[in-house]
Amino acid sequence: MTDYAVTIPDGPSALLPVVASKTIRARDGNVGEKLKLDVTGWGINQIRELLVAITGNEMQAQINIQNPPAFAEVDGMRGRGIANAQKKVTVSFGMRLKVQALNELKRALMAAIGHSTRRDSGRLSNPANWEFRYVRNGRATALPLSGASGIPMGQNDFITLMPKGVVNGEGTAYATAVNKRVTGSGKLSFRRTAKGKVRKHDQGIGFLALAARAAGASQLFSGFNVLSGFTEKYALPGEVVNRRGPVSHGPFRTGYIKISPKTGKR
């Protein structure tokens, strides 16, 4: 991921440098470069025009190498046009998730299920019964799994991993209820470091939470949030959180893991 920022510092306009900085977030550390432009004697409107021009040139250069902007922040606000910038523009490029990361997440989930449940029908631990859903620009769309450039992720885009075929002989979806039973059983805990103690918050968690936290600690998900949760709006038909014997108890919700870009405050 690349962050590009152009800033007009505070101070008298006749003495201001315009500072353009670029930070490339690499796996082995951040690489940065900074350029100061001397605008001695320039008027403030001329300086602002320069700010917009520098930003536009960088955006076009990144687009030319197939690295379009993921989101932009103008004077600390999202949604404001770059042409209206007064003091600062920050543009982030290259929010792309590797397909390898999705494979790692599903493997982690299957391992967590295997460590915390007893195999019966095998439906819960079958990777084919869990699917990724990709929401791009507000619409569910097919995941672009081919190619090496990765999956583009804008500030409002996300990917979820949800059960789709974990259904018993009676037609009841039960993955979320099993996750609920595992939670608090003490079977699963997440250790953030090899030698560190397990935090209380990471003890006795479900297999969805364990897979999400393990993924969040992986370099493959650098720049992304990975969280587990429950949805009523998109719950599978009949999916419940609690199930005791043949009786289902609401609320009717489906557990999921969600991947979204880290885009700072909104």
Contact 67, 54 (CB under 8 A): no
pLDDT above 70 covers a percentage of the chain that reads: 81
The dihedral sign for the CA sequence 120, 121, 127, 129: negative
Q: Which of 138, 137, 124 is nearest to 172 (CA)?
A: 124
Q: Which residues pair with 78 in a beta bridge?
A: 73
Pairing of the two strands 224-231 and 77-78: unpaired
Q: What is the per-residue pLDDT across 228-252, written as a single tens digit (0 to 9) for each?
A: 999 988 888 878 776 554 445 556 7
| Helix ranges, 200-260 (H) | 207-216
pLDDT range class, residue 26, cuts 50, 70, 90? very low
Average pLDDT score, the chain: 82
Instruction: Please check whether residue 153 is in contact with residue 97, taking contact to mean a CB–CB distance below 8 angstroms.
Output: yes
DSSP state of 151: E
Where residue 11 falls (left for φ over 0; alpha for ψ -120 to 50; beta otherwise) is left
- Are 6 and 55 spatial neighbours (Cβ–Cβ below 8 Å)? yes
Residue-level length of the chain: 266
For 132-149, what is each residue's pLDDT tens digit?
Answer: 999 987 888 888 887 666
Q: At residue 121, does pLDDT exceed 50?
A: yes
Quick one: what percent of the chain has pLDDT higher than 90?
A: 33
User: Which residues, 6 or more positions from 86, have their beta carbon under 8 angstroms from its beta carbon?
Assistant: 8, 48, 75
| H-assigned helices in the chain | 44-64, 99-116, 175-182, 207-216
Residue 165 has pLDDT above 90, yes or no: no
HSE toward the beta carbon, residue 180, CA cutoff 13 A:
18
Is residue 18 within 8 Å of 53, Cβ to Cβ? Answer: no
Residue with the bigger pLDDT between 71 and 178: it is: 178
Distance (Å, rounded) from C-alpha 235 to C-alpha 190? 27
Q: Using CA atoms, how far apart are residues 205 and 71, in angstroms rounded to an integer?
A: 34
pLDDT of 17: 62
- What pLDDT was estimated at residue 134? 93
Report, as an integer, the average pLDDT of 184-196: 82
Tokens 């090899």: give the residue: 194
